Amino acid sequence: MEQYLIGKTIKEFRLRNRLSQEKLAGTLCAVSTLSRIENGDQIPNWKLVEALFSKMGMAPPLHNVPMTEADLKRWNLEYEITNSVANRNYETEVMLEKYRTCAQELNVLEQQFYIFHQAIYSMHHNGTSEEILSLLEKSLQLSVENFTPDTDLSEKLLTKTERLILNNIALVLYDIKQENRAEAILEFLINYFETQTISETEKSKDYPVILFNLSNWKGLDGKYEEALALSEKGIQECITYGQLLIFPYLLFNKGYCLLGLKRTENGKRSIERALNFMDEIGKHGDASFGTQKIKEIFGIDI
């Protein structure tokens, strides 16, 4: 009965939002497979449930999906890897190897997760930009056929993993001085978050980070008004969702932009609050670096 309800939920969402089976399925699965799932004739595996519900902006009901012992091992490893990266611990090589070899061959969505996190590992272990970008593109091509950083994705529904890959592609492009292409991807993602249905859990974690990245780039480029607006939007999102990890960095960006706009006293107050918050959450190195940069750029002691 529960399996049937998963298919029923998918079908009701699709019809309510006037989506074709082709658009929802994309390259995640064949249309015939989605049709069988919707009709209760096929039980989807947990990765497909996760991806489809992510596209629909809903939390996946994984407690209703039967898992083999191998599935459960991979699910637990995904949690450990994702949690490690979220806490800026990028020593994931052993976990990734366990993920790859713990059971039967990886399915397509598991391959995407694995290759994406190979790229993240390489990013923090002296991998070249070309190698990292190649891995990121390869991972996204598993679900977006023939993807390149210039592919028009405006008509597609995206999973959380696809959005994360795009954000990291933008970071690499910016690092190799392809700023316009990088900014275009983040502007697309911001529009996606503002116009598509996305679960609050995913939005609270990912949207402020994207706003931070773009506000950072705009600020460094001297586009203070644009960067300020993005920072303030990000700050509001953090307050709305109680997202504290990225909050002080957005607050720092806000202060940086205010200083750039000669609104010195307001800028200093924002910077001071940001640095104090960083110290409170144990990010003393970031606070020290921020103090140094404000002195170097604006000649102001905080």
Hey, which bits of 34-128 come out as E strands? none
What residue type is assigned to position 86 of the chain? A
- Indicate the DSSP class of residue 45: P
Read off the pLDDT of each residue in 105-116 and give the average, rounded to a whole number.
95
For residue 63, is pLDDT > 80?
no
Structure tokens at 80: 């450990």
- For 46, the token pair is 């947990």
Among 49, 77, 78, which residue's Cα sits nearest to residue 64?
A: 49
% of residues, the chain, pLDDT over 90:
81
Residue 18 Rama label (left phi>0; alpha psi -120 to 50; beta): left
Across 131-139, average pLDDT: 97
pTM for this model (two decimals) = 0.92
Q: What is the pLDDT of residues 191-219, one digit of tens each?
A: 999 999 999 989 999 999 999 999 999 99
What sign does the dihedral 195-196-197-201 (CA atoms) show?
A: negative
Q: Which of 54-68, 181-195, 262-276 has the lowest mean pLDDT?
A: 54-68
